[in-house]
Structure 1
C-alpha cells in the first residue's frame, strides 16, 4: 500500500474518532439501559417484532430483524420486564437492575403457546433465571455439531485475539499463535468466515489464515462448525470458523490498554539484524529495499549491459550487508477502542460505531537451531523483528426492524528476519551462510450487510457485499554463501561464480483481490410441527498476481580468470564484499537467475453457489435439518512469461453437496445428534502454480502441481450432549471422514535437490472420537470457592490412513501411511477460578498435540514428523479502579519445550536414535503484564 494511501486512511480514521467523541450524550451518564435479544426457546431463532416493555409503563421497544432490542433512558433501580409475541407465552422477568451510565444485558428465550385458548398465560422468572435460560437454549439448539464461545465468556478470559480464543474451543488447537488445527486436521482442511464473508489465505506458500488479526474484546461470538449445513460454504473438512465482530455497541465506551512482555530466550540479549529504519516500527519499509524504478529488465540483463549501466544498477540494489547488534527490547502491545451509539427519536432507530486500533512489536531470538540430516550439519541463529498494526471500523444502523452494517478490518504484519548459519554440508564444505529477509503482509476486508424482515410472518432477507485485499511483499531478500574445504583452516570464500536462488536477491510481490456477493432468504412454513425454509446464493471472485525476480552480482570474467584477485576479494567480510569501490572497479557483473517459466503467474477463480434448506421440527423432540448446496467452481493459473503448456491450469466443475443433521432431545438436558455431509477441499493457487521458491530454512524448494484435483470428503458424525446447566457441557462425539483425492505434500527428491510439492492420494480415511467437559466444581460441595471454579477439557483421538497413488510416476516411498497433517490426538484442558466477588480471576491452560506427519517420504528422504510438546499457559487478572481498570499477568509456554521436526528413518513415528533432525529449537517462555482501562 502506498504511503499516501496510508496517510489518507489514518486521516479518515482520525476524523471518525473526533466525530465519534462528539456525539457522546451526557444524559446517558445519569440513566441506564436494558438491551438484549429475544429468541425461540426450542430453536434459538430470533423473534422479529416482539414487544419488550417495562411493566406498568408505556416504555418499551420492539425487536429488530436480529431479535435485538434496547430500552434506554431508564433511571437507576429494579424493573420488571414483559415480553409479548403473537403465538408465544407472555414472559414476566423481575429483578432487572439498571445502573446509571451502565447497560444491563438481558437475552430472553420465549416459549410457544401450548394451546389456542384466549386466556393469556404469563410465565414468571427472575433476571438470573431468564439469562441462564437463554444461554441454555442457544447451547442446545445449534442445528449442526459445533462448538463456540460467546462474548461473555471471552470477557472473562485472558485472550487478546481470536487465535487465543480458539485455544478454548473443543477439538481446536493453535500453531505459531495464529494457525488453527481442528480435530487434528491441518489448517489446509479448514476455512473461515469473518462477519459472514469468506477469508482468503494470508500466507504465500500455504493455505492458512492468521487468526491473531481481530482483538478478542471486539468479537461478538466465535463458532467452529464441524458438520456442514447447506447455508455454509462447502470448502472444509475439519471445521468452518465463524468470527462475528460487534457492530452496534450497547453503550458508549473508550478503552485503552498497554502491555509489556519478557521472553526468556530473547529479551535483553544481543539482537542481530540488517539495517533498521524508524518506519519499521510502524510496519512499513521505507522503500530502500524495493527494486528501484528503472532497474534493468530481464531481457536487458540477458542481452548484456554496458559497464556504466551495469555498475549503476548494482549500486541501486540494497547493498548494506552490515550486521547491526542491539539489545532485544521487551514485547510492546497497545490497544485503543472507542464505541459510540446514538438512539434516534423513533423507537428502534439507532446508529453505532466501533473503532479499534492495535499495535504490537516484538523481537524474538531463536538460537541454536539444529539441522542435522542427510549429510547436513548446521546450527542456525535466527533473529526476527516483528511489527503488527491493525484497525477495525464497524458501523451499524437500525431503523424500524431493519439493520445495515458496514464492517472493516485492516491488519499489517512486518517481519524482518536475519539468519546466520554455520556448519558443514554434504558436499564436503564448511559453510557460513547469511540471509536477510523482509516480509510485509497486509489484509483489508470490508463488508456491507443488510438484514430485513419480509411481511409480518417472520420471513427475513439477508444480503452482503464484500471486498478483500491481500498483499504479501518480499523486497530484497538477500542471501550470501561462504565455504571452505571441510576441516581445514583455509579462509572462507564467498561463492559468486554462479547465481542461484540460494544466493541471489529476491524481489517478490503477491497481490490478491476478492469480491463476493450473497443473498439469503428464510421464512417459517407450516410443515410438520414447526419448520423454516431457507434459500440463498453466493458468488465469489478472486484474482491474484505474483511477480518475482532473482538478481545479484557475480564476479566478472576478469576476476574469475585471476585466482589471486578472486581469493582476495572473496575472502572479504560480508560488510565490505559488495562495497561501492569494488562495483566501480568493475569487479561484478549484474546477473539474473534464469526463471522457471511459471515463477511469476496470474490466477483467478470464481465460485457460484446456491442452496435450499429445510429446518423441520418433526415432533416436539425431533429436529431434522437437511438440504443441498450446489457449487460451481472455475479457476485459471497462467504463467506470466514463456509458457510450458503443462503449467497452464484450467479447472471447471460443479458439485452437489447434500447434508442432513438430525437432533433428538432425549430429555430437557440431553441431545442425541447424527449428521452426514459432503464437503470439498480445493487446491489453492499456490498449490497449482509451478512457481519455485527456495526455503533457505528448510533447505528445500517449494513448488505447486498443476494437475492437482479437488478433494471430496464424506463426513459422518454422531454426538451425545449433556447440559448440566447453562454454560456447562459434557459431550461425546464420534466422526468418520472419507477422502477422495486428498491434497497432500511430500518430499520430491527424484533429483539431487529436494522439492516440497503436492499430490492427490488415492484415498484416505479418518475416524475418531471427541470428549468434552466444562463443569463447575459445585457438585463436590456447594461452597462459593468451588462454585466459582470451572474445569474444562476436550480430547480428540483419531486414526488415519492414506494410500499413495499407484503407477503415478511419483517418487513416493510407502504405499500406506497416516494422512498428512492429521494428529493422532489433541488434548486441551484448563481451570478457571474467580476470587473476591469476581474481582480477581485465575486461568490455566494445557495443550498437547500428538505426532503429525508433515511431509510424505520421497525416494531418499523419510517421512517428516513433529515431536509432541506440552504447553502450559496461565493468567492472573485483577479488576481495579472500581472495576473500570484491569491488570493481567500472563505466563505463556511456561515449560518452553523444544519444537522438533524429524525425518523418521525407522518409520516408527518416534524421535529416537538414528532419526535425522530437520529442525529443533526453543522459542522461550513469555511473561506479560498488561493494564486496560475503560471509560
Structure 2
C-alpha cells in the first residue's frame, strides 16, 4: 500500500510539473453541442481542431473542453453521425477560455430535413459514443433497449455482439463465463449474487432503470483488471433540464402455462432546481411474473468400460419436470447531482429486491429399478442488490480530479427449501410396480430394454394409476436454509492531466489509485430425518384429517397431490399432460411442522461444513497516457499494479455418518491469509485512415480469481462417503489478450465494425477427484494420518477419494470474430427510408487441454520379505490424461438480427437471436460432455403513439415460435453401434405476450 501511494504521488507531481510548464500562455475552448431542432444535447460528438492533434468528445450533457491550445486562429470541426458536419473559425487567446456552443442540423435529402425519431436518435447517440471511446466497447442506448421486449438488463445485453446468457440471467462475454466478467452500475462494482461463484445475476435489474449500457471488451489501465471476458457498465438516468414524468404499466400472458396475473409497473420523475444546478431523479419499479420451464431429461450410465470416447451407455432414468416459478421484483433509485462552477457532485442510491418462488414437480422413471419416483424441488428465497455512491469531479484549471466513495451489497436468504437433487426426498411405491402401459395397452417394464430405448419411445409410456396411488414418502427428508451476504467498500481517486507538446503532438495523462475491501459470509443450516423413523412424524401425526401418520402409516403422494393442476394440461405443448403435481402450500406446511419435532436427530453440526466468512483487500495504482500524433494516430500506453489479500475463516469438519448426525468439529476456525501481486501492462493504438474509417489494435492482461467455494480452507471427512477439501492456494487465472478492430461509419453506412480477438488464459481452475494418498502431489492440503489418529479417528484409507480443486497446467485459448452493423435507411425513397436494421454475428473458438485425473486400482505382485512367498497388493494410482475440449459455456455462434420501421408515431421491430452449440459441462470422459443444439428465439414489438401527447401503447411477443432448447451427449448405445448425438434434455421456455401503456411528459 505504501509503495503504491509513493509511486502514484511521484508520478502525479511529475506530470503536474510538466503540465504547468507547458500550460503557460495557452488557451482553451469549451462549450456544448446540441440538436438544432430539439435543443437536446448530442452525446459523443467529435470536436476537432482541424490540422492538429487536439480534440475532445462531448459527455453525457453534450459538453466538451479542449485545453492546452497554442494561441492563434483555428478551424473547429464538429462531427456527429446523422448530422451535417459544421466547421467554425475561431481565435484562441492566451490564458483565456473561448466559449463555443454548436447546434447541428440533421442530415437532409434534396434540401428536406429528415425527422429523427426518438429510437433513431438514441441509436445515433450510442454509435457516436462507441466511436469516440478510447477503447473497444459496445454501447446501447435506453431508446434501443426499449425497442425490443427486454424486461431486464440481462436480456438487453444478450442482443449485443459476443454476448450470451448462462443460468438464465448471467452474462457470458466472448465465450468467457459470467464469473470471470465484471458488472458495474454507474461505474460501481456490483457484488456477486451467486452462492458459490463471483457471478452477478442481472434478471432482477429492470431495464427501465437504465439510460444505457456499455460493454467494454478491452480494459484500460484505469479500470480493474478482474475481467477476462469484459466489463458491463449499467448506466443510470440523471435529471435533464425541466420537469419530466414517465410511467409504464404492463400486463402479460404466459402462453405456455396460461397464467395471466403478471404485471410490470415503472415510473420516474425528475426536475432541476436553483438555475439547473441541482438535479433530482427518482424512479421505482414493481414486477411480477409467473413462468416456469417444461423439461424432460434423461440420464445415462456406462455399462462397458472401453477406451476414451468408445464406451456404450444405456438409459438409467427419465425425468418429467414441470416448473412453477413466480418472480417478484421491486426497486428504485434516487440520483442527485449538483453542478459546481468547475465540476459536479453525484449521489447515487439504487436498490433492487427480488423474491423467487420456485417449485419443480418431478416424475422420474427409474429404469434400473423399474419404479416411478415422485418428488418436489422447492426453493423460495429473497435476494437484494444495493449500491450507494458519492462521486465528485472537479477541474483545477486544466487538471481534472475525480473522487468515488461507494458501497455495494448483495444478499440471499431462504424462506423454505427442500428436495434438492441428491437429498432423496421422494415418494415411491415400495412394490416397484411396472411403469404402466404401452400405446397398445400392454402392461410393460422397460428395465430390460434400456440399452437401446430412446427418450422419444419412453414418452409413449402411460404410468399405471395404481403406482402413484400407492406411492409413499421414502428415503430422507431434508430442509435447508441458505444465507449469504457480501459487501464491497470502495474508494478511488483519479487525476486527468492534458499536456500539449506541439499542435501535432498532444497527450492526456491519467493517474490514480483505488482501495477496496470486500466481506463475504455464508451460512447454511440443514435439518434432516429418516422418513422411516417413528419420531419423523412427532409433530405431524394429525396432519392429514382422519389419518394418523406413523412409520407404519406413511404420508402418501395422494395425501399431498394437487388434483386440480390446470397448468399441467399444457405440458410439452399439451402433447403430454402432466398429472403428478404436489400441493405446494400443503407440503411446505408439512415440512415446516415436521422439522420442529425432529429434536436431537437434527444434524446441527453438519451445517458448519458449508459456512465461512472472510474479507478481501484490494489496492491498485495505475498510470496511463493517451497520445495523439497528428490527426490520424492515437495511442494508449500504461500499466496497472494490483495488490490482493484474501483472509477467510472456515471450519475443518469431520462426521462419521452425514445423515445419522454423529458429527465432530475439528479446528473450529481454520484461517488462510494470502497475498497476490500482479502487474498488468496495456497498449492500444487507433489509426484513422480516412474520416469515415479507423482501425484499433490492443494488447492487455486481465485476471479472474477463483470461486469462493474453491479457495476455502476447510476439510470435510466422512469415512467411506463424502470427502472434500478446499484449496486456498489456487492461483488466479491470468489472460493475455490481443484485439484487432476496424470501424466504418458515415451518415449512409451508419456503423459497421469487424474485429477479431485472441485470449490465452493460464491457470484455469477446475474441480476434480483424487485418491487420498496422492493429494500432496497436486498441492492440495489435507490432514495426514497422524492427525486423525491423534483425534481418535480412523484415518482415511488409501482408496478414499477427495473432491477438490486444482489449476489446469495447460493454458486455455479463446479466439473469435465479431461483426456488427447498425444503420437506418433515411436516404432511400419512401417507404424504405423508415427502415432500421441492426445485425451482429460472433464466431468463437476455444480449446483447453484438460488435465483429466483418473483414479485406478491396480494389483501389484511382490515377494514378502519375511516369508519369501509371492503376494498381491492393491495400488491406488492417480494418473494424468490430457483431453482437448472447449471451455464451459462457450457457444460457437451468436447471431442477432433486428429489422424495424419508424414512421411518425408508429414503430415496430422483429428480432431473431440464435445461439449455437454451447458446451454446458465437461466430464471425466468425452462421452460425459454435454452440449446444446442451436437455440433460436424470435421476438416482436409494435408501438403506436396515441392522440394524447406523450401517451403510447405497445404490444410485444417473446419467444413467439416456442422453440425448445435441447441438450445432447455423444456416445454409443451399443458396443458395436455408431457414436451419435443422444438427447439429454429438452426444455421449453414460455411464449409471452405483453401489452403496455406508457405516458411520458
With the shorter chain as reference, the TM-score category is 0.7 to 0.9
Q: Does 1:657 align with 2:642?
A: no
Q: Using the TM superposition, give the Cα deviation of residue 719 of structure 1 relative to its aligned residue in structure 2, in angstroms.
A: 1.2
Q: Identify if the C-alpha distance between structure 1 residues 593 and 250 changes in structure 2 by more than 3 Å, giving closer, same or farther.
A: same
**2:264 corresponds to which of 333, 337, 350:** 333
1:852 alignment partner, SS class: strand
The match for 2:527 is 551
- For structure 2, the 5+ residue unaligned runs are 1-36, 109-115, 302-315, 420-424, 435-465, 538-548, 561-585, 653-664, 717-721, 773-798, 856-877
Residue of structure 2 equivalent to 1:373: 300
Residue in structure 2 matched with residue 818 of structure 1 by the alignment: 886
RMSD (CA atoms): 4.6
1:724 — aligned with what?
A: 746
Correspondence for 1:495: 474
Cα displacement (A) at 1:220:
3.2
After TM superposition, list the pairs within 5 Å mapping 1:582-621 onto structure 2. 590-592=601-603, 595=606, 598-621=609-632
The 1:786/1:158 distance shift into structure 2, 3 A limit, reads farther
CA distance change for structure 1 residues 228 and 866 in 2, over 3 Å: closer, same or farther? Answer: same
User: CA separation in 1, counterparts of 2:972 and 2:807?
Assistant: 24
Q: Per the alignment, do residues 569 and 177 of structure 1 end up closer, same or farther by CA in structure 2, a change over 3 Å counting?
A: closer
Q: Which residue pairs with 2:709 in the alignment?
A: 686
Alignment of 1:805-884 (within 5 A): 805=851, 815-835=883-903, 837=904, 839-858=905-924, 862-884=928-950
CA gap 1:38/1:186 in 2 versus in 1, 3 angstroms: closer
Give per-residue Cα distances to partners, 1:127-153, cap 9 Å, x unaligned.
326999987764433211111123454
Aligned to 2:395: 453
On the 8 A contact 1:264/1:926 being kept in 2, the answer is yes
Q: Partners of 2:533 and 2:254 in 1: how far apart?
A: 49
Greater shift in the superposed pair: 703-712 or 924-933? 703-712
Cα distance in 2 for residues equivalent to 1:701 and 1:493: 32
Q: Match of 1:20?
A: none
How big is each residue's C-alpha offset from its partner over 1:313-352, in whole Å with a ceiling of 9 and x where there is no partner?
Answer: xxxxxxxxxxxxxxx43321111111121143xxxx6111
The aligned runs of 1:349-428 (5 Å cut-off) are 350-374=277-301, 375-425=316-366, 428=369
State TM-score, norm by structure 2: 0.70
State the match for 2:106 in structure 1.
Answer: 128
**Deviating more after overlay: 161-170 vs 409-418:** 161-170
Residue-by-residue CA offset, 1:593-635 (whole Å, 9 max, x unaligned) = 7627531111211111111000000222100011001111111
Change (3 A) 1:338 1:702: farther
Choose from 371, 395, 410 the match for 1:470: 410
Specify the SS of the correspondent of 2:820. Answer: strand
Post-superposition CA distance 1:21-72 (Å, at most 9, x none): xxxxxxxxxx99765669652599xx9999xxxxxxxxxxxx99976569xx
Q: Secondary structure at the match of 2:551?
A: helix
Post-superposition offset of 1:487: 2.9
C-alpha displacement of 1:882 = 4.1
Match of 2:698 in 1: 675
Tell me what 1:789 maps to.
Answer: 835
Please give the residue correspondences for 1:737-756 in structure 2 after superposition, counting only pairs within 5 Å: 737-744=759-766
8 Å CA contact 2:45–2:78 kept in 1: the answer is no
- Cα–Cα, structure 1 residues 580 and 460, in superposed 2: closer, same or farther, change >3 Å? closer
Secondary structure of the residue that 2:245 maps to in structure 1? Answer: strand
Task: Give, in angstroms, the shift of residue 531 of structure 1.
Answer: 0.6
Using the alignment, how far apart are the partners of 2:353 and 2:760 within structure 1? 38
Conserved? CA contact 2:41–2:61, under 8 Å: no
Is 1:481 matched up with 2:447? no
Match of 1:41 in 2: 47
Structure 1 length-normalised TM: 0.74
Structure 1 position 558, deviation (Å): 5.7
Residues 736 and 437 of structure 1: CA distance in aligned 2, closer, same or farther (over 3 Å) = same
1:530 aligns with 2:506: yes
Which deviations, in whole Å up to 9, do the C-alpha atoms of 1:86-116 show, x marking residues without a partner? 878587999xxxxxxxxxx999998897999
**Can you list the C-alpha shifts for 1:398-457, whole angstroms capped at 9, x where unaligned?**
1212211111111111111122222234762431212321121111111110010012xx
Checking the alignment, whether the CA contact within 8 Å between 2:149 and 2:958 is kept in structure 1 is no
- What are the superposed Cα offsets for residues 496-555 of structure 1, whole Å, 9 maximum, x if unpaired? 5xx5xxx31101211111100111100101346111000111111111111111113445
Q: Contact 2:343 / 2:394 at 8 angstroms: preserved in 1?
A: yes
- Tell me if the contact between 2:762 and 2:810 (Cα under 8 Å) persists in the aligned partners: yes
Q: After superposition, where does 1:266-285 map in structure 2 within 5 Å?
A: 266-267=257-258
d(CA) in 2 for partners of 1:202 and 1:900? 27
Query: Structure 1's 176 and 361: CA in aligned 2 closer, same or farther, altered over 3 A?
Result: farther
Change (3 A) 1:746 1:587: closer
Q: Report what 1:766 is aligned to.
A: 814
Shift of 1:679: 0.6
| Counterpart secondary structure, 1:421 | strand
Indicate the SS of the match to 1:783. coil
Work out the CA distance in 1 between the residues paired with 2:489 and 2:40: 38
Q: Distance in 2 between matches of 1:430 and 1:808?
A: 34
1:504 match: 478
Seen in structure 2, the aligned counterparts of structure 1 residues 758 and 482 have a Cα distance that, compared at 3 Å, is farther
Cα pair 1:353 1:393 within 8 Å, conserved: yes
Shift of 1:186: 2.1
How far 1:388 moved relative to its partner?
Answer: 0.8
Alpha-carbon distance between aligned partners in 1 of 2:200 and 2:595, rounded to the nearest angstrom? 46
Residues 894 and 758 from structure 1, CA distance in 2 versus in 1: closer, same or farther, beyond 3 angstroms?
farther
Q: Tell me if the contact between 1:551 and 1:593 (Cα under 8 Å) persists in the aligned partners.
A: yes
Measure, in 2, the Cα distance between the counterparts of 1:353 and 1:762. Answer: 53
Name the SS of the counterpart of 2:484 in structure 1.
Answer: strand
Report the number of matched residues: 783
Aligned residues of 1:441 and 1:471 also touching (Cα < 8 A): yes
Classify 1:39/1:728 alpha carbon distance in 2 versus 1 (closer, same or farther; 3 Å): closer
1:684 CA drift (Å):
3.0
SS of the equivalent of 1:568 reads: coil
Question: In 2, are the aligned partners of 1:596 and 1:692 still within 8 Å (CA)?
Answer: no
Counterpart among 644, 650, 662 of residue 633 in structure 1: 644
Match of 1:568 in 2: 553
2:576: which partner in 1?
none
SS in 1 for 2:822: strand
Larger radius of gyration: 2
Mapped contact 2:699–2:739 kept (Cα < 8 A):
yes
| CA gap 1:893/1:579 in 2 versus in 1, 3 angstroms | closer
Shift in alpha-carbon separation, 1:404–1:112, aligned structure 2, 3 A: farther
- Decide whether the 8 Å contact of 1:41 with 1:134 is kept in 2: no
Indicate how the Cα distance of structure 1 residues 646 and 902 shifts in structure 2: closer, same or farther if over 3 A, else same. farther
Give the match's secondary structure for 1:165: helix
